[in-house]
Amino acid sequence: MSQNKLAEIVVRYIEFLELADDEQPDPRWAIKQQESVAADLAEATPEERAAVKEAARNRLAWLLREPDEYCYSPRKTLTPEHRRLLESIASGQIFG
């Protein structure tokens, strides 16, 4: 698996943990998993962190893209909380 694909998976996993509602998953489990991911990212190599940051920038750009030929854009689904999360990953702030 390429480093970029792995970074995309990490970003999606962080999104899931941060943005899941109270119904899924168990909030205590989600917090423990989030802390584990953050700790692993803090220990990642500079190249691995750069890949995760790039994946977050790409995800944010995809969510903010212009409407396609069918006038669809996921822009309206991006909440302020979700945007702040992706921006914190893209900036590296999430690494601590």
Query: Taking the domains of the chain in order of start, what are their residue ranges?
Result: 3-95
Question: How many other C-beta atoms are found inside a 10 Å radius of the C-beta of residue 48?
Answer: 16
The mean per-residue pLDDT over the stretch 17-24 comes to 72
Q: Nearest to residue 44, comparing CAs of 13, 86, 15, 3?
A: 3
3 vs 24: CA distance, rounded Å: 29
The amino acid at 13: Y
66's CB contacts (< 8 A; 6+ apart) are 73
Task: Looking at 43-93, list the stretches that DSSP marks H as alpha helix, in order from N- to C-terminal side.
Answer: 46-63, 80-91
Give pLDDT, residue 56.
93
Question: pTM for the full model?
Answer: 0.72
